[in-house]
Chains A and B, each alone.
Chain A
């Protein structure tokens, strides 16, 4: 078990990176410009790639270097590029009608983090891991999950929803690096490729939305009810 006997330096580095990516998730939550979301997402992916490499170095998992490179390439470059292309094709650069003001969503997000902390604290205590980086990793995993869902709920541009889903995935990936660094390589690589296919599918669907519905805001997707 890596996290049980980790030297303080490694532990602090992991914590720092995990917290930076949580902050970047808040940047996405607090902004209303689509381009900002994208930059924050790309930065977050790079932090996660660095985290993979750090876990690989301190934990002695050389295969994580490969994951780090692939994460940087896929999540850090290719996905933002693909999403950027979708943005370029649309005439939308920001959220127009917010259901929740960015400031209120930040507060809601903070409550999400507190909830996540309480859950992980309990779980950590029952595992005998209280006070270790595991609790922090679990907290950040769950809170990025909640923040992603918050973004899905209060944003209605198609792009924000795609990025909301990507935040959900990033949170899981980040937590998995710290909690289960030994997870088989095959699974992680397949999930990375899978994400690429997902974004490609979203790209096609956004094009259909523009062509056949005439809008990319979920507020206009109101034909099917009941």
Chain B
């Protein structure tokens, strides 16, 4: 049963991408992509439910649906659906109708590569899938063909390729670690590595893990390897920014989490967790510094992604039932929330024809509904109650106290407060400063651009006040799978 869902989920974007390339009509392409995203979303839900009852393996163990991977798939499918709805309205504003088929072909392909990376059961194939996500999304980042977009695309592909070549080195060294236990030739599945881990050489395993952490950490956008992220997020079209932030970063985080379990089992001591926690804190620090003094609206959102990836890294790094539950919940909430933020930023950029915060003013008076949604999203992303991120951050803080990471918790709280003030200060300026010119220049955007903001914000409020028991059970299963197996 799960196999049929999985097949449908992967075939839908594949067919959509191929059909877009054949038909080359902008209206048909956007419909195809939307249908594909709906299929992905509808199949991702039962897959997530089924995954909690145990992993499913396909194609001679090359493909796996496990509880953590399925969760990343669910987050990806949500962002894909929201971004597909949004892009119908947004991409029409760009006036690039004759190239639009290529945008949607790449968009479906991008979603496909992210989904594929989440179900790969082989460490080598996972690396290749992550590499493919980069190659496809580079052309989406540079889609607008302005000098800035091409610059962002170039930096993106160079920095990511260099970064994940470190992850490839780490993968090869992990294979070497395993070959002392499992013999010279074996299938490098996550389970095989994990079973071999207790007998691995700790020094070599630690070296491999650190290479992996820095390598995939580049892709996750952990500071100080985050330098591609603000450029790529700010220069790509808004729906792609949402996909990069809400879907792509999670799929790379999945790799770090999978290796973290192996490193734990390999008796590397606290090293693996402490380094991940440290990277999380540095990301929060860098995020805080750049959020306070930011002038570009989408760069502001991008640094907020660095910050939230830091929070998720803290959650997984601290570990334990609460840490894992908080991190997974944060993933979902961040995916929903960052979609709202990028959609709102895209709308504001189009309405005011500027990327600068200082040129956006009087949002409140001009766009009451859309402005209210965006402002609510801004309150949510800084971790204010009653939204989902407040709950998930609270759970991670609690996990930190329980597992003896008090220092990390205090640092995290201080940085979150700085970010809260800095972030909302920009919104105060955009909402309550009356502009010098009269509002003739501000253009409204279509309903396609506002509807997905509703669709994302309503569940975010619901998740903030009500944490469903079924989700909690799912997280507990995940944390059991991800916890240390004592050798």
Q: Which residues of A contact B (CB under 8 A)?
A: 1-2, 119, 122-123, 126-127, 141, 145, 148-149, 152, 158, 161, 164-165, 168-169, 171-172, 175-176, 179-184, 187, 190-191, 194, 197-198, 201-202, 204-205, 208-209, 212-214, 218, 221, 223-224, 226
Within 8 Å CB of A180, what residues of B? 172, 175-176, 179, 184
Known A205-B157, A212-B150, A223-B151: A179·B172 in contact at CB below 8 Å: yes
Query: B121-146: which have CB < 8 Å to A?
Result: 122, 124-125, 128, 131-132, 135, 138-139, 142, 145-146
B231 within 8 A of A: yes
A148 to B180, CA, bound (A): 29
Within 8 Å CB of A201, what residues of B? 135, 138-139, 157
Q: How many Å from the CB of A142 to the closest CB on chain B?
A: 8
User: Do residues A226 and B295 form an inter-chain contact, with CB atoms below 8 A?
Assistant: yes
Within 8 Å CB of B179, what residues of A? 1, 180, 182
User: Do residues B154 and A205 form an inter-chain contact, with CB atoms below 8 A?
Assistant: yes
Within 8 Å CB of A181, what residues of B? 184
B11 within 8 A of A: no
User: Do residues B150 and A213 form an inter-chain contact, with CB atoms below 8 A?
Assistant: yes
A65 to B163, CA, bound (A): 30
Chain A residue with minimal CB distance to B165? A168
6 tightest CB-CB pairs across the interface, nearest first?
A: A182-B184, A182-B185, A187-B124, A168-B165, A126-B203, A224-B231
User: Do residues A221 and B165 form an inter-chain contact, with CB atoms below 8 A?
Assistant: no
A218 to B176, CA, bound (A): 37
Q: How many Å from the CB of B188 to the closest CB on chain A?
A: 7
A204 to B141, CA, bound (A): 14
Q: How many Å from the CB of B99 to the closest CB on chain A?
A: 13
Within 8 Å CB of A212, what residues of B? 145-147, 149-150
User: Do residues A205 and B153 form an inter-chain contact, with CB atoms below 8 A?
Assistant: yes
Within 8 Å CB of A202, what residues of B? 157
User: Do residues B161 and A126 form an inter-chain contact, with CB atoms below 8 A?
Assistant: no
Within 8 Å CB of A223, what residues of B? 147-148, 151
User: Do residues B165 and A158 form an inter-chain contact, with CB atoms below 8 A?
Assistant: no
Chain B residue with minimal CB distance to A201? B135
Q: How many Å from the CB of B276 to the closest CB on chain A?
A: 21
B168 within 8 A of A: yes
24 contacts between A and B (CB under 8 A): A122-B203, A126-B203, A126-B204, A127-B203, A141-B169, A145-B169, A149-B162, A158-B154, A165-B165, A169-B168, A179-B172, A182-B179, A182-B185, A184-B188, A198-B161, A201-B135, A201-B138, A205-B157, A212-B146, A224-B148, A224-B151, A224-B152, A224-B155, A226-B294
User: Do residues A190 and B162 form an inter-chain contact, with CB atoms below 8 A?
Assistant: no
User: Do residues B204 and A123 form an inter-chain contact, with CB atoms below 8 A?
Assistant: yes
B166 within 8 A of A: yes
Q: How many Å from the CB of B51 to the closest CB on chain A?
A: 25
Find B207's partner among A123, A149, A175, A226 (CB 8 Å cutoff).
A123
A38 to B142, CA, bound (A): 27
A159 to B165, CA, bound (A): 18
Within 8 Å CB of A145, what residues of B? 165-166, 169
Chain A residue with minimal CB distance to B204? A123
A148 to B344, CA, bound (A): 41
Chain A residue with minimal CB distance to B172? A176
Known A123-B203, A224-B235: A165·B162 in contact at CB below 8 Å: yes
User: Do residues B125 and A2 form an inter-chain contact, with CB atoms below 8 A?
Assistant: no
Q: How many Å from the CB of A216 to the closest CB on chain B?
A: 9
Within 8 Å CB of A122, what residues of B? 203
A175 to B152, CA, bound (A): 32
Q: How many Å from the CB of B269 to the closest CB on chain A?
A: 15
A152 to B135, CA, bound (A): 19
- Beyond A1-B184, A180-B176, A226-B294, 20 additional pairs, beta carbon < 8 A: A2-B184, A126-B201, A152-B162, A165-B161, A168-B165, A172-B172, A175-B172, A180-B175, A182-B184, A182-B185, A187-B128, A198-B135, A201-B135, A201-B139, A205-B153, A205-B154, A209-B150, A224-B152, A226-B293, A226-B299
A209 to B142, CA, bound (A): 10
B23 within 8 A of A: no
A122 to B201, CA, bound (A): 12
B97 within 8 A of A: no
Chain B residue with minimal CB distance to A167? B165
